[in-house]
Amino acid sequence: MKSTDGGETWSEPVEPPKAGGYPVGPVKNKPVILADGSWVAPTSRETETTWDAAVTISGDSGRSWELGGPVPLDHAAFTGKGVIQPTLWESAPGRLHMLLRSTAGFVYRSDSSDGGRSWCPAYETGLPNNNSGIDLAQLAGGTLALCLNPVPADWGKRTPLVVMLSRDNGESWGDELVLEDEDPPVDESKVALERAHRANEFSYPAVVAVGAKLAVTYTWKRERICYREIAGV
């Protein structure tokens, strides 16, 4: 949708185009604006057998798009379907990075030195990931704030939900802030576990940095959207 009056009114919605077989992003997470003014939107593609990630790039404020990537991934050696739903940041002009949701029990990462047009093979970060969505924001001083469920299991429980900080461009993470933590009741049956996970689920975070403050939204038990502001990060 488009607005010509600062968001007071909007046009009718239209489906975005595809670029190289990928939907023009964002699929889940927000786009970033690079130092050269380009818009880069994270995207991914899911089939019954494989998940893959890429970005779409616009040099004209969203009027046209080209595909960047896809991110190389050795599916023959990968656990599960793959990686989706990238979250992006730029560390220096043209140097772009992404973290990815995965089916392998860990957050994966890829890096680009040409503004997102090509990417290195995705590699494991060591950060736990339960095959649930993540999001990241870069604060004014360069600190990265990542929101995730730190659970090292494919389709594992979606609690706790935490924010972790990195002050070295994502090489290491610490200063964990717990937003939600509620363990599901213990029951060995598959149906009961699925119900318990959903009832105690905190997931699909979206994170935006405003100076030194974070604004975070996430799904609260599949019932509501929860909003948090975190100051002094």
Residue pLDDT, tens place only, 141-192 = 899 999 999 999 888 889 999 999 999 999 999 989 999 998 766 665 666 6
Q: Distance between CA 116 and CA 43 in Å, rounded?
A: 12
The residue length of the chain stands at 233
Q: Which residue has the higher pLDDT, 232 or 43?
A: 43
Q: Distance between CA 131 and CA 197 in Å, rounded?
A: 13
Q: Is residue 202 part of a domain?
A: yes
Residue 95 pLDDT grade (very low, low, confident, very high; cuts 50, 70, 90) = very high
Q: Distance between CA 148 and CA 126 in Å, rounded?
A: 13
Q: Distance between CA 99 and CA 55 in Å, rounded?
A: 12
Q: Is residue 157 part of a domain?
A: yes
Q: Is residue 148 part of a domain?
A: yes
Residue 84 has pLDDT above 80, yes or no: yes
Q: Is residue 70 part of a domain?
A: no
Q: Is residue 13 part of a domain?
A: no
Q: Is residue 165 part of a domain?
A: yes
**Across-strand partners of 32?**
40
Structurally, how many domains does the chain consist of? 1
Q: Is residue 212 part of a domain?
A: yes
Distance of alpha carbon 181 from the chain centroid: 20
Q: Which residue has the higher pLDDT, 193 or 45?
A: 45
Q: Is residue 15 part of a domain?
A: no
Residue range(s) defining the domain that contains residue 204 = 130-233
Residue 144: closest CA among 65, 207, 92, 200:
207
Distance of alpha carbon 130 from the chain centroid: 13
pLDDT at site 66: 94
End-to-end CA distance of the chain: 33
Q: How deeply is 15 buried, as exposed, middle or buried, from its count of CB atoms within 10 A (0-12, 13-18, 19+)?
A: exposed
Residue pLDDT, tens place only, 97-151 = 999 999 999 999 999 999 999 999 999 999 999 999 999 999 988 999 999 999 9
Structure tokens at 181: 């933590």
